[in-house]
Amino acid sequence: MPALYNFMNKKFAAPRGTNDILPDETPLWEDLESKARKICKSYGYHEIRTPIYEETTLFKRSLGQTSDIVNKQLLELATDKEEGYALRPEGTAAVVRSYIENNFDAKEILSKFFYIGPMFRGERPQKGRLRQFHQIGVEAIGSNSASPYLDVEMIALAMHLLNELGVKGLKLKINSLGSKEDKEHISIWLRSEFAKHKKNLCEDCQNRFERNVFRVLDCKKEHCRKVVASIVKHLPMSESSCVYFKTVQGTLKASGIDFEVSPHLVRGLDYYTHTVFEITAEGLGSQDAVGAGGRYSGLVHELGGNEEIDYGAIGFALGIERILLACGYDSTIIPNRIQAFVIAMKEEYQQDAFILLQQLRREDISADMGFSGGSIKSQMNKANNANASFALILGEEEMRNGTVALKDMTASKQEVVLVKDIINVIKSRLKE
């Protein structure tokens, strides 16, 4: 049966574009996540955990039918229904869905959320670009109208997180797309300007030009960039949107946050209005964006928010893998440690060893034992490999006298302690 033979010999690997985060890397992730949680909370944001898949139509509605994420990158789950589910490619859609579903607008004027977790996109994997990657995302959604100071808070929080996580060479680019009404005027203006140069635009942009002209501004192709640069010095918008953007810039300056205004920065999604921003870091090559965000107030109505409320919403997402790459941490290994390792010198002492082990764990002392027994030498090796601070040895004499030999693995000192005192002795030694 050759087919079965092949199957039996198959070596499985993690799916292309995904990574295992191994136990000697998880302390780094835990550290990064706990720092991020602390900083987000200090700005009044609280964690939300939404499912990792949602209805496909939620993403189609929120990201827009013309976006790359929906067109090329959505990982849909097989289903017999016409419209099924897809793994989440980003976090905003689900947070807005949850905001509306849970009637947050009736509970508070401004809701402040953050999330940390995996996102999924069917991209071509390369350095800094994965199919499963992780984001730290922040969203503020309110039923009052937009405040430019909230835009600055968002940018300040993103920069604070990246600085605190140790990312060097940060560059912040900002732009304003104006209000929803401005965007309509700008879109007509851009279309009439680009129409004059249509034949110089790439094929993608000729399509984008019809469906969402803003995306042409963001095209990476050289000849499109030339056309864009010759037309767009700044986007024409209303007086009130200009004042809004000036307040954002003035407050950033007053807060000591450096930035550059980039009139071509638009961000891929349809619902962005007013402030949009992108942050890059040095040393990442072509995938140098560590985070991006913007104001997306129109999305709340699009996903079913109360038509009578003038929602304001803004958020950003940072890519954790790119943060780790930028910090040079991608290959950093922090050895896991354990406080106590219990050794039974004879097979028949294993049950007592196990009882002691559980007692230690209940007392909040991290502990393990070598379940396969073996010589004292091989068990000491196991204690060393586990990076144990102490080895607790149960030998013949100890079993007879109700004691434990307590070996300090770093100082190579050994003492004999009564079993009934062992917890207190270890706790006080650990404090030394």
Q: What is residue 83's DSSP assignment?
A: S
How far apart are CB 147 and ligand ATP at their closest, in Å? 23
Residues 138, 317: Cα–Cα separation, whole Å: 6
Q: Which stretch binds ligand ATP (CB under 6 A): 7-15, 55-63, 130-138, 370-378?
A: 130-138
Residues 6+ apart with CB under 8 A from 362: none
Residues 121, 16: Cα–Cα separation, whole Å: 12
Q: Which stretch binds ligand ATP (CB under 6 A): 57-65, 128-136, 368-376, 411-419?
A: 128-136
- Tell me, rounded to whole angstroms, the distance of Cα 78 from its chain centroid: 26
- Among candidate residues 82, 85, 69, 77, the one with its CA nearest the CA of residue 122: 69
How far apart are CB 67 and ligand ATP at their closest, in Å? 9
Angle between helices 56-63 and 92-101 (to 10 degrees): 110
Cβ proximity to ligand ATP, 137 vs 370, nearer residue: 137
Binding track over 76-115 against ligand ATP, x by CB under 6 A: --------------x-------------------------
* 118 touches 91 (CB < 8 A): no
Tokens of 325: 């790459």
Residues 231, 245: Cα–Cα separation, whole Å: 21
Tokens of 24: 């000697």
Of the candidate residues 268, 373, 374, 395, the single one contacting ligand ATP (CB under 6 A): 268
Cβ proximity to ligand ATP, 121 vs 197, nearer residue: 121
What residue number has its CB nearest to ligand ATP? Answer: 319
How far apart are CB 284 and ligand ATP at their closest, in Å? 9
Q: Which stretch binds ligand ATP (CB under 6 A): 6-14, 150-158, 288-296, 347-355?
A: 288-296
Rg over CA atoms, the chain: 28
The helix/strand/coil state of 77 is coil
Residues 335, 203: Cα–Cα separation, whole Å: 51
Of the candidate residues 60, 88, 112, 121, the single one contacting ligand ATP (CB under 6 A): 121
How far apart are CB 69 and ligand ATP at their closest, in Å? 7
In which element (H, E) is residue 120 found?
strand 110-120
* 319 touches 288 (CB < 8 A): no
In which element (H, E) is residue 278 found?
strand 273-280
Cβ proximity to ligand ATP, 100 vs 130, nearer residue: 130
Task: Please tell me whether residue 290 binds ligand ATP under the rule CB under 6 A.
Answer: yes
Amino acid at position 332, single letter: T
Of the candidate residues 91, 142, 178, 291, the single one contacting ligand ATP (CB under 6 A): 291
Beta bridge partners of 289: 280
Cβ proximity to ligand ATP, 141 vs 284, nearer residue: 284
Task: Please tell me whether residue 322 binds ligand ATP under the rule CB under 6 A.
Answer: yes
CA distances from 203 to 41, 224, 229, 400 (A): 45, 10, 18, 85
Task: Considering only residues 227 through 256, tell me which ones interact with ligand ATP, judged by CB under 6 A.
Answer: none
Q: Which stretch binds ligand ATP (CB under 6 A): 78-86, 254-262, 289-297, 415-423?
A: 289-297
Of the candidate residues 45, 133, 244, 271, the single one contacting ligand ATP (CB under 6 A): 133
Of the candidate residues 294, 305, 315, 319, the single one contacting ligand ATP (CB under 6 A): 319
Cβ proximity to ligand ATP, 193 vs 218, nearer residue: 218
- Among candidate residues 284, 285, 289, the one with its CA nearest the CA of residue 276: 289
Q: Judging by DSSP bridges, how do beta strands 53-55 and 85-87 pair with one another? A: antiparallel
Of the candidate residues 56, 62, 67, 135, the single one contacting ligand ATP (CB under 6 A): 135
What sign for the dihedral angle of Cα 27, 29, 30, 32?
positive
How far apart are CB 130 and ligand ATP at their closest, in Å? 4
Task: Please tell me whether residue 148 binds ligand ATP under the rule CB under 6 A.
Answer: no
Of the candidate residues 54, 139, 182, 321, the single one contacting ligand ATP (CB under 6 A): 321
Residues lying near ligand ATP in the complex (CB under 6 A) are found at 90, 121, 123, 128-130, 133, 135, 268, 287, 289-292, 317, 319, 321-322
